[in-house]
Amino acid sequence: MSELATTRRWKRPPFIQNPTLRRGLWVGAAIYLALAFGTMEVNWERVAEGTERGQRFIAAFFPPDFVSRWDSIEEGIMESLWMTITSTVVGIILSVPVGLGAARNLSWRPVYLFCRGILAVSRTFPEIILAIFFVKLFGFGPFAGFLALSVGTIGFYGKLLAEDIEDMDPVQAEAIKAVGARWLQWLNYAVQPQVMPRMIGLGIYRLDINFRESAVVGIVGGGGIGATLLTAFDRYEFDSAAAILLIIIGIVMALEYTSGYIRKWVQ
Amino acid sequence: MLRIENLEKFYPTGDHALKSVHLEIPQGQVLALIGPSGAGKSTLIRCVNRLVEPTSGSVFLGDLELTHLGSSDLRHARSRMGMIFQEYALVERLSVMENVLSGRLGYVGFWRSFFRQFPQSDIDEAFELLERVGLDHMADKRADELSGGQRQRVGICRALIQNPDLLLVDEPTASLDPKTSRQIMRLICELCEERQLAAIINIHDVLLAQMFARRIVGLQHGTIVYDGPPEDLNPQVLTQIYGEEDWEATIEKVKDEDQELDSELVDNVTKLKPVS
């Protein structure tokens, strides 16, 4: 009975094994926080003033004015929507060969490195930098925005496609290879069914992203609703700006709902 | 039908998976390949259709040497060899019919297959095969809606619609319950009999192998250590293939079925090749 009396204790082993290092990190974090708060100078007078100004600023957004600038808002929205759709379609079409080449289990080494290079370059620059670049190359307007979003889409979609292909079930792919299928038939029968549902979902997600980004690229001259929004701010027409923001929110929410619905449907 | 000569396989990790394997299978023979996990069973059949590239040696399908074929000839050769997999390896998001018809990909051009416009004769054949395995009413179901046994039946149809000369079967029953396992093994063997197909069946269930195959080959560490009829499997042989264990229970059943076994036991032992 005496063995039963001794209870064996168990505690979850700590994440950092070395106790000195563990305690040292806690002490270091505490010192850092103390120093950080110590060096922060808060001018409470300015905070009070700013709060009041902020309230006035926000109040200027209400009520949103859809009417007085409706023509340019409508034009901006339509431009943005076209930019979104064309850049998503073109970007996805271009990203498919890049994505196939960038999947390690599909392509041979030089092609793999080349395609990974394309993806890395297009992913390095955020859409806004690409837009500035294309505005300089092709001038102001939605064409520059379209190019920026297309390149951004290639980087996004190509990388995720490549990764999805790398994660596919190799046995299904092996089975189709074993029946003597051609390479394209193999893609069509073994690879495509495995990656398709996720890629449709990601395509819609990218449509969503491209719409939001289309508002951003407009600010640097890439056309679309962003340009309209910038003009509204420049003219201090905050009520029109509020209307634009509400429309953007509305469209993003609509896309969100649709994408959720479609993703469930394709599974 | 199939002749394997001097087949060697080294994996890049340094594993010597196959050591100078010789094997000859005549038309219509069903051969069960038994052996412990890692013995090289899977590697052996994958070296035949070159899903795994053999390091050296030759494989003849009829008169055709397979190990040096270019990609287009290899595709043709592969379309003459049906393969059945352990985890069924159906493309899960394709329908049962598409999975069966995918067995014809080696004979159909890209655009026809892309638009699923297979020749009527292929479609008839597919329905006949599905009917044979009792799944014709499931043709438009998605493969991932089927149970394990049903999936393996579809896998069998996919292999047979290739109209192959040879079946390569990799652990067909490893993911199935005992009853379904027997049904699947019986089905494979019946179909091979009907169509005079040669088959290599990798299987680690010794009892099943003894029940269904007329020839057993035991593989151990990449070497063939036994090649003979199922009746000759005895504790010594099994110990040689798998290692020390109480084998009496495993072979009991077959002994009941075949009482003459004992008298043959002595010369059976002489048939064994030594372990290298």
Give per-residue pLDDT as tens, B57-88: 999 998 899 988 888 999 999 999 999 998 88
pLDDT band at A72 (very low <50, low <70, confident <90, very high): confident
pLDDT at B251: 64
- Domain identity same for A123 and A142: yes
The answer to whether position A2 is within a domain reads: no
Name chain A contacts of B106, Cβ cutoff 8 Å.
179-181
Task: State the residue range of the domain holding A55.
Answer: 19-59
Task: Give CA separation, A22 vs A32, A35, B196, in Å.
Answer: 16, 20, 71
The answer to whether position A11 is within a domain reads: no
Q: Which of residues 75-114 of A touch B (CB under 8 A)?
A: none
Candidates B121, B30, B135; CA nearest to B84 is: B30
User: Residue B202 and residue B42: Cα distance in Å, rounded?
Assistant: 7
Per the CB < 8 Å rule, is B79 touching A176?
no
pLDDT band at B253 (very low <50, low <70, confident <90, very high): low
Residue type, B45: I
Residue B54 has pLDDT above 60, yes or no: yes
Q: What is the CA radius of gyration of chain B?
A: 19
Name chain A contacts of B103, Cβ cutoff 8 Å.
179
User: Residue A173 and residue B201: Cα distance in Å, rounded?
Assistant: 21
The domain tally of chain A equals 2
Task: Give CA separation, A219 vs A190, A204, A223, A231, B226, in Å.
Answer: 44, 24, 8, 9, 77
CB of B5 closer than 8 Å to CB of B22: yes
First to last CA, chain A: 59
CA atoms within 13 A on the CB side of A209: 21
> Residues A57, A60, A62, A67: is their CA dihedral positive or negative?
negative
Residue in the block written with tokens 């043959």: B264
What token pair was written down for B258?
């075949």
What is the share, in percent, of chain A residues with pLDDT greater than 90?
A: 34
Residue B97 has pLDDT above 60, yes or no: yes
Q: Where in chain B is the domain with CATH 3.40.50.300?
A: 1-80+166-246+272-276
Name chain A contacts of B90, Cβ cutoff 8 Å.
172, 175
The answer to whether position A130 is within a domain reads: yes
- Domain identity same for A107 and A26: no
SS3 B6: strand
Q: How many Cβ atoms are within 10 Å of A97's Cβ, its own excluded?
A: 14
What are the tens digits of pLDDT across the range A34-69?
A: 999 888 887 888 888 888 888 888 887 788 777 777
What token pair was written down for B59?
């494989």
Q: What is the CA radius of gyration of chain A?
A: 27
Across B125-154, average pLDDT: 91
CB of A146 closer than 8 Å to CB of A224: no
CB of B69 closer than 8 Å to CB of B75: no
SS3 A25: helix
The answer to whether position A13 is within a domain reads: no
A·B CB contacts under 8 A: 83
The answer to whether position A10 is within a domain reads: no
Residue A32 has pLDDT above 90, yes or no: yes
pLDDT band at B159 (very low <50, low <70, confident <90, very high): very high
What are the tens digits of pLDDT across the range B172-217?
A: 988 888 888 998 999 999 999 999 999 999 998 888 898 898 899 9
User: Residue A143 and residue A133: Cα distance in Å, rounded?
Assistant: 12
- Domain identity same for A46 and A132: no
Choose the CATH number for B1-80+166-246+272-276 among 3.40.50.300, 3.40.47.10, 2.40.50.100, 3.40.50.920: 3.40.50.300
- Which residues face B81 on adjacent strands? B166
CB of A60 closer than 8 Å to CB of A239: yes
Name chain B contacts of A194, Cβ cutoff 8 Å.
91-93
- Domain identity same for A160 and A197: yes
Would you call A197 an interface residue with chain B, using a CB distance cutoff of 8 Å?
Answer: yes
What are the tens digits of pLDDT across the range B254-268?
A: 555 444 434 444 344
Q: For position A140, which CATH number holds?
A: 1.10.3720.10
Candidates B201, B150, B144, B202; CA nearest to B176 is: B150
- Which residues face A27 on adjacent strands? none
Per the CB < 8 Å rule, is A178 touching B87?
no
ipTM attached to this prediction: 0.83
Neighbour order of strands in the sheet with B166-170: B81-84, B166-170, B198-202, B30-34, B215-220, B223-228
Per the CB < 8 Å rule, is A189 touching B49?
no
